[in-house]
Structure 1
């Protein structure tokens, strides 16, 4: 029940990026989404997502991401057996988590957002997050990510495609914390994503572009 529409990068959205990256002191609690907004959404495994430890196994100093206890992201599919593909998938998950963290957690800054996104994908994510803030809304519940596929591209980039099922999420009012569980699931809660990731100098696979299709039959 949280729709995420892809938003094109435009100069007018620069303010949204600045707001979220330089510190917006606004609210960031655990909220829920709904009407016409769908993007990639959350962090590792189930339940409140595991925080991204600053001392990670790959020795990259990563910003912490910790979702509220009422927000659960489930990423299906285990190791691919290819360490590069596994690293791409891991940073794709962290990117999703960074967006949901910025929507649902009160903080002054969101360093993980820029850590895992850049270019058009960063602007799109910031605009999407700002849409929740502008309408004083958030979400709660479980989001499932599945049929995830990684393709390594020429030039060192990679693509990740996946489906999102948000039928078990519900809108949440940021000001009252009230959850609207009367909202019914709809085809738009099934979204197909296609993303392009590029590895930066730190070894982080940053998402550079994102496109999505709501009510995707391939995800139902």
Structure 2
């Protein structure tokens, strides 16, 4: 079962078609509260742990902080294309912003609404509230891999990626008790996301669709 409830939303047919072109086996964003976590196979791509300090001070970006027992690792950061790299960087910060809200136990964090908008923000708020209402948070490491970008003009993009949640675990916020249930097929999730660049040059995630247990993401 996934660490997080699946983030949802309905992509337009155009977005879905674009996402299909860059489908995962190499692609990108979120987790499911009923699954286990990450298995750490090395894909050979560059990786960075969350949060990403290099982007936190530019364009008024809010700083994102994680507790010491939780980490997101993002692979495939550099594509050789500056525009695509910028999309991937803000996509990662969108993921981190959702987790920060979980850790803070609040949907009013600055980063959550900074990196997410529209249906993605609505889905993310509902996702965070499930943690809050359940009295839960998480610990461990979640790995994001096979991240790929499809640009659509100057201000729209689609990112697909996989998450490995086999090494991240639900933790009760009050008691600190951790559920270390063994990983399952659903610990590996495929994400399709839509992003749009706002007036400040930030690539905001506007829509998210996830597929827990997707074959493309299995180890």
Query: Alignment partner of 1:45: what SS?
Result: strand
Query: Alignment partner of 2:178: what SS?
Result: coil
Task: Decide which of 188, 191, 207 is 1:193's aligned counterpart.
Answer: 191
**In the TM superposition, what are the counterparts of 1:148-159 in structure 2 within 5 Å?**
148-154=147-153, 156-159=155-158
2:89 aligned residue: 90
Query: Alignment partner of 1:89: what SS?
Result: helix
**In the TM superposition, what are the counterparts of 1:23-172 in structure 2 within 5 Å?**
34-35=33-34, 45-46=48-49, 49-51=51-53, 54-56=56-58, 60-105=59-104, 109-154=108-153, 156-172=155-171
Query: Alignment partner of 1:67: what SS?
Result: coil
2:176 aligned residue: 177
Matches of 1:4 and 1:33, distance apart in 2: 4
| Residues 33 and 170 in structure 2, CA contact (< 8 A), matched pair in contact too | yes
Q: CA deviation at 1:53?
A: 5.8
Q: Is there any run of 5+ residues in structure 2 with no aligned partner, and where?
A: 11-30, 38-46
2:22 aligned residue: none
- TM-score using structure 1 length: 0.78
Moved over 3 A (4+): 50-54, 106-109
Matches of 1:100 and 1:219, distance apart in 2: 21
Q: Cα RMSD (Å) of the superposition?
A: 2.4
| Residues 116 and 206 in structure 1, CA contact (< 8 A), matched pair in contact too | yes
Matches of 2:54 and 2:175, distance apart in 1: 29
Q: Is there any run of 5+ residues in structure 1 with no aligned partner, and where?
A: 10-31, 39-43
Q: CA deviation at 1:198?
A: 0.3
Task: Name which structure has the greater RCO, CA cutoff 8 Å, separation 6+.
Answer: 2
Task: Decide which of 202, 209, 212 is 1:204's aligned counterpart.
Answer: 202
Q: CA deviation at 1:180?
A: 2.3
